[in-house]
Structure 1
Amino acid sequence: MSKHFLRQFFELESSTYTYLLADLTTKEALIIDPVVNTVERDAKIIQQLGLQLRYALNTHIHADHITGSGKLKTLFPGCQSIISNVSGAKADIYIKDGDLIKIGESGKTPIILECRSTPGHTNGCTCFIWHDYGAIFTGDTLLIRGCGRTDFQQGNADQLYTSIHTKIFTLPEYYKVYPAHDYTGQTCSTILEEKKYNPRLTKLREEFIDIMTNLKLCYPKQIDKAVPANLLCGLQNDIE
C-alpha cells in the first residue's frame, strides 16, 4: 500500500487545478494552488481523511482567481502559506530556487518537494518537483500543450522560454506534468510529450517570442480583483 497520497481538484470558473499531497503515515499534508471558491470542498476532504494541513503553496500570484490560502489558514490554524520570495506577495514562508519543502519528516519516507524558480509568466513563478513520485507541479509556467501568457504581470517571453527549457525540460522525460490550469479537459502530461508536441515550445526561441507577442488574448476578467488579493497571499481573513 502506498504511503503517499495525491489528489487533483478542479475549479470550474477559472479552470484551475489544485493538488493535495499527504503522507499517510504521519497524516501531514500540503496543498498547491488552492482556490477560495472551492476551499470548503477541499477542506472537507482533508478533514474526512484525518489529515493535518501544514502548508498552502502558491506557484505564483494568480490573475484569474483568488487564492484559498487565507481561508484555509482559518480552518486549519497550523497551516502556513508559502510563495516565492520575489513574488512581491505576503506569506508565512518565502522560498527561493533550490529550497526544499518537506512533510512527513517523522515517517520513513517523507514527501520532499524541490522548489525551482521559473520566471517568465510572472517574476515569482515557482515549480514544485516531487522527485520520488516523478512529478512536477508547473503552475502557469508550462501547461498541457501550452504555457502561461506573457503580456502582463512582469511577463517576458524570452525569460519563459529559458525557464522551461533549462528548468523543466531537463527533467527525466517520464516525469508527469501537473499544471495549474487546463481548458480542454486534460489532467496531466509528461515531460516527453511537451518536448515533442507542445506547439509553442517545439519552436526556436525567436518564433516562440513572436507567437507569445501576437496571442491577442482577452484581458483576464478577474485580474483587477485577484491580483491585489493575492499580493496578500490570502492572509487577510476578510477577503471575499
Structure 2
Amino acid sequence: MCSVLTRIRPIHRAVALSLRLGANTEGSSYAATQSRRLSPGKNSVVDLQRNARFYCSRMAKTEGLLFRQLFEVESSTYTYLLADTNTREAIIIDPVLETIDRDLSLIEELGLKLILAVNTHCHADHITSSGLMKKRIAGLKSAISKFSGASADILLSEGDKIRFGKHYLTVRETPGHTDGCTTFVSADESMAFTGDALLIRGCGRTDFQQGSPERLYKSIHEVIFQLPEDCLLYPAHDYKGQTVTTVGEERKHNPRLTKKLEEFVKIMDNLNLPKPKKIDIAVPANLLCGLQD
C-alpha cells in the first residue's frame, strides 16, 4: 500500500471558506438537459467560455491547507487541488485531460509536489488526465475505488486515508451513480468531495454504469447527510454556476433528495436524459487510467 494511505481516526472539526466562481457553468447537451430540469434559465456554452474563470484562487480556512477549485468547460467538471502549505505535498481530485497543461502549470507555480491523482469514480463524460500526469511527474501515483473496475496504482476501500503532509481525506464509499463512486471527507469534516453522487440541488444519474437509484439514495442519506450540517460539499460537476453547497442546504433544499425513497426512484427512472456525448470513448479510456489510444 502506498505511503499516502493510512487508517487513523478523524480529529477535530473546523469551518472551511465557501468559494464563489462567479460564472455560469453550462456544459454539454447532457449538462444542458440536467440544467433545464432543475431551473428554467441558462446561458450558452459560448457565453460560458467568454466569461468563466477557470480556477478559484482562494484557500480553504483549515489551517495549513492550500485549496484550489478548477473548472473544465466542455464537461462542466470541477477538479480540486489540495496541498499541505508546509511540506508542499499535494493531491489532485478528478483531473481532466483537456486541462492537464493548466493544472500542471498551476502546480509548478505554487511550488507543489503532486503525489497522488485520484478519481471519485470512472467518469463517462470526460477522460481523466491521471495516466498522462503520471508520465509527466516522476513518482506520481493514481487512485480510484476498487469497485470501479478501473486500473490504478492504488485501489481505494472504505475508511482509507489519503495523506498529503499533515492532512488527509477519508474514503467513504457512496455507490449508486456507479458501483465505484467514493466521497472524500477532510480530517476535520469541514469539507467533502462528493463526485457525481451528490450535486448541488441534484444528484448523479442512475441509468447506466451499474446505476441504482435505491443505492444512491441510501449512500447520500446514510453517508453524506450524516456529516455535519455546515460541512462544505464540493461536487464533480455543476451546470448552473454554483461552486459549493453544504450538508444542511442539501438536506433542506435538494429537490430530489428531500423526497421519500419511492418518489426519488420514480424521478430517477423517468429523467429520460441523452447519454453523455463522450461515454463511448471516456469509459474505456478511464478504465485504463485515461491512457487508451
TM-score, normalised with respect to structure 1: 0.95
Match of 2:196 in 1: 140
Distance in 2 between residues matched to 1:50 and 1:117, nearest whole Å:
32
Deviation string for 1:192-211 (max 9, x for gaps)? Answer: 00000000000000000000
Distance in 1 between residues matched to 2:207 and 2:289, nearest whole Å:
22
Distance in 1 between residues matched to 2:144 and 2:115, nearest whole Å:
14
Residue 124 of structure 1: how far off its partner (Å): 0.2
**Corresponding residue SS for 1:169:** helix
**Corresponding residue SS for 2:115:** strand
Match of 2:221 in 1: 165
Deviation string for 1:202-237 (max 9, x for gaps)? Answer: 000000000000001011100000000000122x3x
Match of 1:66 in 2: 127
* Amino acid across the alignment from 1:98: G
Distance in 2 between residues matched to 1:233 and 1:192, nearest whole Å:
34
Of 171, 178, 182 in structure 2, the residue corresponding to residue 115 of structure 1 is: 171
**Corresponding residue SS for 2:168:** strand
Distance in 2 between residues matched to 1:188 and 1:222, nearest whole Å:
25
2:189 touches 2:228 (CA, 8 Å); kept in 1?
no
Distance in 2 between residues matched to 1:114 and 1:133, nearest whole Å:
9
Residue 149 of structure 1: how far off its partner (Å): 0.0
Q: Does 1:50 align with 2:111?
A: yes
Residue 133 of structure 1: how far off its partner (Å): 5.9
Of 257, 269, 274 in structure 2, the residue corresponding to residue 218 of structure 1 is: 274
**Corresponding residue SS for 2:274:** coil
Q: 1:198-217 to 2 correspondence within 5 Å?
A: 198-217=254-273
Q: 1:77-156 to 2 correspondence within 5 Å?
A: 77-104=138-165, 110-132=166-188, 134-156=190-212
**Corresponding residue SS for 1:97:** coil
Q: Does 1:174 align with 2:235?
A: no
* Amino acid across the alignment from 2:267: I
Distance in 2 between residues matched to 1:201 and 1:3, nearest whole Å:
34
2:158 touches 2:172 (CA, 8 Å); kept in 1?
yes
Deviation string for 1:36-55 (max 9, x for gaps)? Answer: 00010000000111110000
Distance in 1 between residues matched to 2:135 and 2:111, nearest whole Å:
17
2:252 touches 2:258 (CA, 8 Å); kept in 1?
yes
Residue 132 of structure 1: how far off its partner (Å): 2.3
* Amino acid across the alignment from 1:195: R
Unaligned ranges ≥5, structure 2: 1-60
**Corresponding residue SS for 1:8:** strand
Aligned Cα root-mean-square deviation (Å): 1.1
Distance in 2 between residues matched to 1:233 and 1:144, nearest whole Å:
27
Residue 111 of structure 1: how far off its partner (Å): 1.1
* Amino acid across the alignment from 2:96: V
**Corresponding residue SS for 2:289:** coil
Deviation string for 1:32-71 (max 9, x for gaps)? Answer: 0000000100000001111100000000000000001011
Misfit runs of 4+, over 4 Å: none
Residue 74 of structure 1: how far off its partner (Å): 1.5
Distance in 2 between residues matched to 1:188 and 1:133, nearest whole Å:
15
Residue 134 of structure 1: how far off its partner (Å): 0.3
